[in-house]
Amino acid sequence: MAYELDYWPDIQGRGEFVRLVLEEAGADYVDVARERDGEARMLALLAREDIATPPFAAPFLKDGDIIIGQTAAILLYLGDRHGLAPRDASLRLWTHQIQLTIADLVSEAHETHHPLGADLSYEEQKDAAARRAKSFRETRIPKFLRWFETILANNPRGDACLVGDAVTTADLSLFQAVEGLLYAFPTATRAALAETSRVARLHGAIAQRPRIRAHLTSGRRIAFNDYGIFRHYPELDSRSNPRERA
């Protein structure tokens, strides 16, 4: 039976972290919201009150009668089933910790363009966004990437992977996070990657994995746009934005 992935049909967002794992695993799955009436079916399920373990929001994954919400939890589930998680329990927990840290990075990236609330447009919070983006660009991106760099450097099995000597869900998610940062903050991210060569190599290596490369060039890969988590507003990647001094 195919997995069913429920997520918005027009953005990569958090759903892309799940898609990458499904693609790398060669798993059979249906991207529900991109099917006929799929988005309506997704919203109908989210509105139901008779599910014992309901997801709070998309993305969520259905595997038969099992419904799993939250990206990190979905990847924990898939990693164990498709050889994308360590066998050792302590290393599985460590992989999950890395995954949760990537989730923090993704949330902070979103808050650069919506620091006051998702119910307001970007145009309604530009001043706050400029200040938030300055901190994210100059402090948080380098701090996150240095942390991943240290993990790679300290991996006793070599610096090709974050955990052990085989690709895990965390490696795939770090690739996607870096992709998003390169889209949203190209100048700041390239500068940070110049100081974190292991992260840069991992990003490049994941992109060349056969199934990932096929996905990246397929119609299943939604292009980055100004509706998703990672958005490119040139003024937020610029040191000369006058709003930063407000």
Does the structure show a pLDDT above 90 at 37? no
Average pLDDT over residues 31-59: 92
Q: Do residue 113 and residue 44 come from a single domain?
A: no
Does the structure show a pLDDT above 80 at 241? no
Q: What is the mean pLDDT of the chain?
A: 95
Residue 53's pLDDT is what? 92
Q: For residue 110, what is the domain's CATH number? A: 1.20.1050.10
If pLDDT is split at 50, 70 and 90, which confidence band does 240 have? Answer: low
Q: Do residue 120 and residue 207 come from a single domain?
A: yes
Does the structure show a pLDDT above 80 at 244? no
Last residue of a domain, one of 81, 101, 127: 81
Q: For residue 28, what is the domain's CATH number? A: 3.40.30.10
Average pLDDT over residues 220-240: 91
Does the structure show a pLDDT above 90 at 43? yes
Its domain, for residue 46, covers 3-81
If pLDDT is split at 50, 70 and 90, which confidence band does 207 have? Answer: very high
Q: Do residue 190 and residue 140 come from a single domain?
A: yes
Does the structure show a pLDDT above 80 at 223? yes
Q: Looking only at Cα atoms, what is the longest distance across the chain?
A: 55
* Cα–Cα nearest to 125, from 231, 11, 10, 239: 231
Query: Cα dist. 70→57, 79, 113 in Å?
Result: 8, 14, 22
Q: Do residue 114 and residue 76 come from a single domain?
A: no
If pLDDT is split at 50, 70 and 90, which confidence band does 218 have? Answer: very high
Q: Do residue 35 and residue 126 come from a single domain?
A: no
Q: Report the domain count for the chain.
A: 2
Helix (H) or strand (E) holding 148: helix 141-154
The span from the CA of 147 to the CA of 217, in Å, is: 30
What are 226's two structure tokens?
Answer: 């100004």
Residue 239's pLDDT is what? 66
Does the structure show a pLDDT above 60 at 21? yes
Q: pLDDT (tens digit, 9 = 90+) per residue, 115-127?
A: 999 999 999 999 9
Q: Do residue 199 and residue 154 come from a single domain?
A: yes
**Residue pair 85/167 in contact by the 8 Å Cβ criterion:** no
Q: Do residue 135 and residue 217 come from a single domain?
A: yes
Last residue of a domain, one of 49, 81, 113: 81
Question: Residue 150, CB half-sphere, CA atoms under 13 Å: how many?
Answer: 7
Q: Do residue 73 and residue 96 come from a single domain?
A: no
Q: pLDDT (tens digit, 9 = 90+) per residue, 71-91?
A: 999 999 999 999 999 999 999
Average pLDDT over residues 222-226: 94
- Omega cis (within 30) before 59: yes
Strand partners, 5: 31, 61
Strand partners, 63: 66
If pLDDT is split at 50, 70 and 90, which confidence band does 38 have? Answer: confident
Contacts of 235 (CB under 8 A, 6+ apart): 130, 241, 243
Average pLDDT over residues 62-75: 97
Residue 81's pLDDT is what? 96
Last residue of a domain, one of 23, 53, 81: 81
* Cα–Cα nearest to 89, from 103, 104, 76: 76
Q: Do residue 191 and residue 234 come from a single domain?
A: yes
Q: Do residue 48 and residue 130 come from a single domain?
A: no
